[in-house]
Every structure is written in C-alpha cells, then in structure tokens.
Amino acid sequence: MYSFAEIFFLAGLVWGILACALIIVALIFARAKSIIRHKHLMLVMLGGGWGFVLLYLTGYILGESYSKSVSPELAPWLTIHGITALITLLAVTLLIWARISSPSDSKESGVRAYINNHHRLLGMITALLWLITQAGGFVNLYILR
C-alpha cells in the first residue's frame, strides 16, 4: 500500500506535466483570441493549483509529508519554491477574479480596472512564473525521491 506522501508525489508529477501543457495551450488560445477556451483552461488550472495546495496541507496535517524529514540544507530552496508558487497562484486568482467580476461596460477604476487593463502583460508574467514554479516542483521531486 502506498503512503499519502507517495501518492502526493505521483499526483504532483502528473499535475506538473499537465499544468505545463495547459499553460502553453492557454497561451496559444489567448493569442488566437479563443477567449472562452482560454478562460475555461485558466479556471481548470486555478482549481488544480488550489487543489494541489489543499492536498499538500492535508498531507502535512495527517503527518504523512516528506517536509517533516527535509534536511536543513534544502529548507531555503523549498521555502523559496513554496512562496513563489503561492504568489503565482494568488496572482492567477486575482487575474481571473478581475476578468470574471468586471462589469460589461468597463467604466470602472481601481485595482480591478488596473488588472484588466494590463491583463496581457500580467498574464504573461504569471504564466512564466507558473512554468518556473512547475520546473522547481520537478526539481523537488528529483531531490526528495
């Protein structure tokens, strides 16, 4: 029988590969102006990202996480990876929130208007951060296996 941590590592590997493919396809859809497909892919990725975080926290609470047995030398790397991943996930959440909750007349001001006006640039930055974070996850899998 596999432990929760082993299942989590396998799920992390599958999610990492899938997330990298999805972000590339989402960027292709955005470039092709296929807005509905882009939106749906981003919602799937957002749900998958938060689902991954919840699974990680569940494993940590259950006490079946490799993070409790990590050597002190790896702690800074894992901390940087985790912070970068959460910042990226929060940025994607804000981008999607701004797009979905925006009124159709687009005569608004504030944070939501700023995010919507710079959606393409902010989306490219978060896509790059997402890919870097996934690459860091692959490195984590290699280091912690």
> How many domains does the chain contain in total?
1
Structure tokens of 63? 């006490």
pLDDT of residue 64: 66
Can you tell me the mean pLDDT for 137-144?
Answer: 84
Q: Can you give the pTM of this predicted structure? A: 0.83
pLDDT of residue 6 exceeding 70, the answer is yes
Can you tell me the mean pLDDT for 38-42?
Answer: 93
Domain that holds residue 106: 4-144
pLDDT of residue 74 exceeding 90, the answer is no
Number of Cβ within a 10 Å radius of residue 58: 13
Q: Which residue has the tokens 């912070």?
A: 83
pLDDT of residue 90: 95
Long-range contacts of 3-7 (CB under 8 A, 24+ apart): 3/64, 4/58, 4/59, 4/62, 4/64, 4/65, 5/59, 5/64, 5/65, 5/66
What are the residues whose beta carbons fall under 8 Å from the beta carbon of 91, sequence distance 6 or more?
122, 125, 126, 129
- Look over the chain and give the mean of its residue pLDDT values, rounded to a whole number: 87
pLDDT of residue 22: 93
Q: Could you tell me if 44 and 92 are in contact, meaning their C-beta atoms sit under 8 angstroms apart?
A: no
Can you tell me the mean pLDDT for 58-79?
Answer: 76
pLDDT of residue 33 exceeding 80, the answer is yes
